Amino acid sequence: MPAPQILESATKPIPAPPTPAALFLGFSRVGLSGFGGVLPWARRLLVETEGWLSAEEFNILLGLCQFLPGPNVVNLAVAVGVRFCGWRGAVAGATGLMLGPFLVALVLGVLYARYGELPAVQSMLHGITLVGAGLIIATGFRMGLNVKNRAIYLPFAGAAFAAIALLHWPLPVVMLGGATLTISLSWWRLSQEAKACRS
Amino acid sequence: MPILIELFASFFLVAFVSFGGASAVIPELYRIAVTEHAWMDARTFTELFAIAQAAPGPNVLIVTLIGQHVDGWLGAFLATLGMCLPMSLLVGLLFKHWDKLQHWRGRAAIQLGVAPMAVGLVLASGSLIAHSAAPSLIGILLLLLTVAINLRTKLHPLWLILLGGVLGLMGLV
């Protein structure tokens, strides 16, 4: 049915590709609006508000950013920047995203250095720490629910947890050793699937 | 080694294992900042974590605050840059070839394999922070309530952080 498509492109003109300045400003808004997770705000800017990316393009770029380690949303700002304006766009996007939060953090850090010893500040931060720990644990559970073939892969999550939280093994060793195991397993399973498909 | 180089180098290396972002590598950040270099005590570390949680922006701000605590704004800048730079460079390099890699079996294998490890890391991070905060019984309830509300409802996390701050001020947790 071609009709709705025409209608959509008529009402939604293809936006001009962003300049580095537009990327900087756009990602500045994303960085400062994101409390507890910046990613939904990045999606809103890129796909909904500005329409720089289609939902599908967004998912493909996000795939790249989640494939690599590191702060995913910084990776995303770099990927979007490179996509439109090369390395200049990458610098503009990432700087825009980080500059505002960075300055806010510096101000909070200065206040902490000054007033951090006050009992009231310490009790307040103690309460926030517990909520912060809860938010991270909730994120972990949510990520766990999104893991495919949970019966096979989640025991590895349990093992990684035990190695770091209970046995206090060094995290890089656990991550690299564990990921070698799990990636070999998933590679083997994908090969088996491919064979099953061919025969 | 000059402390600024040490800051940059430490977080540059952490970036390579931080599958799941900064929230996944909190035990490693703790090991670097408290155990290995003694840049701060455990209490300061958890308090900087709390500030990073309450501030707007990506979770990587915990690294910014550690850097600032060690050596002012320049320390903050180099620590943050160290954490963000390696993968930003890789994203820039991989970007052109990502379309081709979409159908490579290794890509799918890495994504499937890394996901459960990231889950373990993130849960270990949360548990380390909770443990080092040594909560009272009401504090433990606050933590469990946060997990439940965040999983089950769409309530904005800022309200929970506010609740935590208020309960903390009242000396209940």
Residue A2 has pLDDT above 60, yes or no: no
Residue A62 pLDDT: 87
User: For the residues A35-64, what does the mean pLDDT come to?
Assistant: 87
How would residue A184 be classed by pLDDT, with cut points 50, 70 and 90? very high
Mean pLDDT of B129-155: 94
For residue A67, the model assigns a pLDDT of 85
Of the pLDDT bands very low, low, confident and very high (cuts 50, 70, 90), residue A35 is: confident
Q: Is B164 helix (H, G, I), strand (E, B) or coil?
A: helix
Sign of CA dihedral A96, A98, A99, A104: positive
Cβ distance A105 to B173 less than 8 Å, yes or no, reads no
Residue A78 pLDDT greater than 80, yes or no: yes
Please name the member of B49, B92, B131 whose beta carbon is closest to the beta carbon of A132.
B49
Question: Above 60 in pLDDT, residue A60?
Answer: yes
Q: How many CA atoms lie within 13 A of A136 on its CB side?
A: 32
Question: What local confidence, expressed as pLDDT, does residue A4 receive?
Answer: 46
**Taking 80 as the threshold, does the pLDDT of residue A6 lie above it?**
no
Q: Are B15 and B87 in contact (CB under 8 A)?
A: yes
Quote the pLDDT of residue A90.
95
- Average pLDDT value for residue range A87-94: 96
B20 has pLDDT over 90 = no
Q: pLDDT by residue (tens digit) across A107-144?
A: 999 999 999 999 999 999 999 999 999 999 999 999 99
pLDDT band at A36 (very low <50, low <70, confident <90, very high): low
Task: Calculate how close chain A gets to B136, using CA atoms only, in Å.
Answer: 10
pLDDT tens-digit series, residues B29-86: 999 999 999 999 999 999 999 999 999 988 899 999 999 999 999 999 999 999 999 9
Task: Tell whether A59 is within 8 A of chain B (Cβ).
Answer: no
What is chain A's alpha carbon radius of gyration, rounded to the nearest angstrom? Answer: 22
Nearest in space to A98 (alpha carbons), one of A51, A38, A18, A52: A38
Say how far apart CA B109 and CA A14 lie, in whole Å.
Answer: 36
pLDDT number for residue A123: 96
For chain A, say whether B9 makes contact (Cβ under 8 Å): no
In the block, tokens 């289609």 appear at A54
The reported pTM is 0.90
pLDDT at A12 over 80: no
Out of B15, B145, B168, the one facing A70 most closely (by C-beta) is: B15
- For the segment B130-134, the average pLDDT, to the nearest whole number, is 93
Q: What is the mean pLDDT of residues A69-76?
A: 90
Q: What is the mean pLDDT of residues B147-171?
A: 94
Res A9 pLDDT > 70: no
Q: How confident is the model at residue A13 (pLDDT cuts 50, 70, 90)?
A: low
The torsion angles phi and psi of A77, rounded to 5 degrees, stand at: -60, -40
Ordered DSSP codes for A141-157 = HHHHHH-SSHHHHHHHH
Report the pLDDT value the prediction gives residue B103, as an integer from 0 to 100: 84
Interface contact flag, B116 A164, Cβ < 8 Å: no
Contacts of B3 (CB under 8 A, 6+ apart): B70, B71, B75
Sign for the pseudo-dihedral over CA of B125, B24, A134, A181:
negative
Interface test with A, best of B117, B125, B156 (most A CBs within 10 A): B117
Q: Kindly state the average pLDDT of the residues A49-64.
A: 89
Q: Which residues are CB-neighbours of A40 under 8 A, at least 6 positions away?
A: A34
Mean pLDDT of B77-100: 91
Q: Does A139 sit within 8 Å of B127, measured CB to CB?
A: no
| Average pLDDT of the segment spanning B78-106 | 90
What is the C-alpha separation between B125 and A54, in angstroms, rounded?
34
Q: Return the percentage of chain A with pLDDT > 90, whole number.
A: 70
Q: What is the mean pLDDT of residues A55-66?
A: 87
Instruction: Say if the Cβ atoms of A71 and B87 lie within 8 Å.
Output: yes
Angle at B28 between CA A153 and CA A156, to 5 degrees: 10
Residue B155, chain A, CB below 8 Å: the answer is: no
